[in-house]
């Protein structure tokens, strides 16, 4: 995913299915476009957060 798209998803009031690599669905909690990373919540567990490279995120079609 491109950093600009991750930022759009983060700022949107709509829900988008985003996947980390080929694994779990995640919720984008923050985007750092300049550094190319995003903080994501993995699954439905609000305490399971990770900071990952934005290029590891994929929008599910």
Domain boundaries, the chain: 3-59
pLDDT in tens, 26-42: 999 999 999 999 999 99
Q: Tell me the percentage of the chain whose pLDDT exceeds 70.
A: 100
Tokens representing 48 are 């399971």
pLDDT of residue 9: 96
Angle at 48 between CA 44 and CA 49, to 5 degrees: 110
Please give the torsion angle defined by the CA atoms of residues 44, 50, 53 and 55, in that order, rounded to the nearest 10 degrees: -10
Task: Tell me which residue of 44, 46, 45, 32 sits closest to 57, measured CA to CA.
Answer: 32
pLDDT of residue 38: 98
pLDDT of residue 46: 86
pTM summary value: 0.87
**Average pLDDT of the residues in 40-56:** 93
């Amino acid at each position: 995913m491109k950093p600009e798209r991750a930022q759009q998803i983060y700022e949107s009031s709509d829900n988008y299915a985003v996947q980390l690599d080929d694994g779990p669905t995640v919720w984008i909690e923050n985007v750092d476009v300049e550094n190319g990373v995003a903080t994501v919540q993995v699954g439905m567990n609000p305490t399971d957060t990770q900071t990952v490279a934005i290029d590891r995120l994929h929008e599910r079609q």
